[in-house]
Structure 1
Amino acid sequence: MASAQVQLPHNLQAILKEEDSQIYACSERPKDSIVFHARKLIIYRGNDPTCWKWVHMPDTHGAPVEVAKLLGIDCLYVGKVFSAKSLTQEKHYRVYFVLMMTDEEKGFKDHPVNFQLVAPNQPTVEHQKDLSELPKNKWVDVPVGGFYRDPKMTGHLKISMFELGPQSKRGLIVNKLVIQSVDKPE
């Protein structure tokens, strides 16, 4: 039985040296993937135990991972700033959050969350999604957008999800942010 070749980012060692063990190259798929687990994301009031609870849960493939469970907050912001030079050139990428909505969900219905991807020298990608419509108690890939890693691209990617309404929100679990190469743009 032949095994598939997995192509990891050309500068994987530099990426891993720059980041800590919460970022890893995903080799389950034959694509370049950079994964930022919840602890590596910027989470507004993420260290406030009245707003977020850090727990271990099975990941999408069953391995335990630390995730952030929203207990209650009015202003929701989760994001990451990431160097474009860490990605393989001349590839298309898709960006998505892996999230779960629990039965305790409150404050999201009729208050869509904004998703934004800012890539250097490319139009900003923005859209909204009503997270109350996600299936309950199941990990879901929620797309942010896509971009092309041009060889001339310098600077940083800015990826975020936010909802700044005054209503209290709870019941969201943030697992990770994934930047994954794709064969064709979506």
Structure 2
Amino acid sequence: MQEYWVDESGFNYFAVYARNLGIIWSSEQRYWHWLPLNDSSSEADIVIASLQNVCWLEVEGKLDASHLSPGVTYEVAFLVMMRDSSNGWYEPVTLSLMYLGGDKQEHKVSLNDNNLKNKWSELLVGTFLTSKDIQGDIEFLMFQHGSHWKHGLVIRGAVIRPAKGG
């Protein structure tokens, strides 16, 4: 499921929910569980992806850039939560953004952070400026190709929105 709306400034804003992200092994119940979102602000059709146990994490999404407002700086962020019981996150995950013209941004972030425990948090992937002739896809990725088994990550989705202050 993907949701679209226009913010108070008149710019396009998108949410790509977990079911529309490419999550490796997400169809295998021994690795991932799909659960209804249970919070007071949730829409009825939203499901979240709850990681059971993997050693190879890969979550990717994309959006046709023609849906974005031209001449606007956008940011992409994953919406995640770490359960209290999370474990195995010894190495940081890599967040990557590929956008118009083949430009790429990449950085690492630790999920072993107490600020991510039991609350929805945003992992900023990157920012980019749209042009008047927007064509192609914006692609974003969160991955860790490590040897440690890990669990406890919950993914709600990703947002593509006008950058705060930009």
Q: TM-score, normalised by structure 2?
A: 0.89
Between structures 1 and 2, the one with greater strand share: 2
Of structures 1 and 2, the larger Rg is shown by 1
Distance across 1 between alignment mates of 2:152 and 2:164: 34
Identify the match of residue 147 of structure 2 among 154, 166, 185: 166
Asked if 1:25 is matched to 2:4, the reply is yes
Number of corresponding residues: 162
2:42 and 2:135 map into 1 onto residues whose CA distance is: 36
Q: Which residue of 2 aligns with 1:151?
A: 132
Structure 1 equivalent of residue 19 of structure 2: 39
**What's the Cα RMSD here?**
1.8
TM-score of the two chains, using structure 1 as the length reference: 0.80
Q: What corresponds to 1:18 in structure 2?
A: none
User: Secondary structure in 1 aligned to 2:37?
Assistant: strand
| Aligned positions of 1:1-186 closer than 5 A | 22-26=1-5, 29-30=7-8, 31-58=11-38, 61-64=41-44, 65-109=46-90, 111-121=91-101, 123-133=103-113, 134-182=115-163, 184-185=165-166
How far apart, CA to CA, are the structure 2 residues paired with 1:117 and 1:34?
Answer: 16
SS in 2 for 1:173: strand
Q: CA deviation at 1:135?
A: 2.7
Equivalent position amino acid for 1:107 in 2: G
**How many Å apart are 1:59 and its aligned residue?**
5.0
Give 2:141's aligned amino acid.
Answer: S
Contact 1:26/1:34, CA 8 A, preserved across alignment: yes
Residue deviations 1:131-157 (CA, integer Å, cap 9, x gap): 111431100011001001112332211
Aligned-residue sequence identity (percent) comes to 26
For CA contacts below 8 A with separation 6 or more, give which structure has more relative contact order.
Answer: 2
Measure how far apart 1:184 and its partner are: 4.2
Q: Tell me the distance in 1 between the aligned counterparts of 2:97 and 2:137.
A: 11
Answer whether contact 1:60 1:139 (CA < 8 A) is retained: no
User: Helix, strand or coil for the counterpart of 1:74?
Assistant: strand
Gaps of 5+ in 2: none
1:56 shift after superposition: 1.0
- In the aligned structure 2, how far is the partner of 1:127 from the partner of 1:158? 15
